[in-house]
Amino acid sequence: MGSAHNIKEIRHKEIQKVKIIFISSIFKKNKNYLGLHRFNFLSGITKKKVVALGGISKINIKKVNLLNCFGVSGISYFEQKKGPIKGPFLNV
């Protein structure tokens, strides 16, 4: 596994022969903020499994279904949630 924020880092992870690439930040408004369209572009340039990471919350969780990804990871979302987690977006 490895993390990436751009094309160069994705290619580096491919050279390292990782099986899964975490691409971030999908929603979190920081210097690496991607948004839906840029994330889908980046996930589409690799044949590796891709996991979306960063800023996933109760407010934007439904947007995850619009992503081209193997799964999602979101500390903020899971800290907010009470009870069992449901949804087709959890593949991992």
Tell me which of 21 and 92 has the higher pLDDT: 21
Three-class DSSP labels, 4-73: ECCHHHHHHHHHCCCCEEEEECCCCCCCCCCHHHHHHHHHHCCCCEEEEECCCCCCCHHHHHHCCCCEEE
Could you tell me the pLDDT band of residue 92, with boundaries at 50, 70 and 90? very low
What fold, for 2-80? TIM Barrel (3.20.20)
Could you tell me the pLDDT band of residue 32, with boundaries at 50, 70 and 90? confident
**Separation between Cα atoms, residue 25 and residue 51, nearest integer Å:** 11
**Separation between Cα atoms, residue 46 and residue 2, nearest integer Å:** 13
**Separation between Cα atoms, residue 75 and residue 26, nearest integer Å:** 13
Could you tell me the pLDDT band of residue 41, with boundaries at 50, 70 and 90? very high
Going from N- to C-terminal start, the domains of the chain cover 2-80
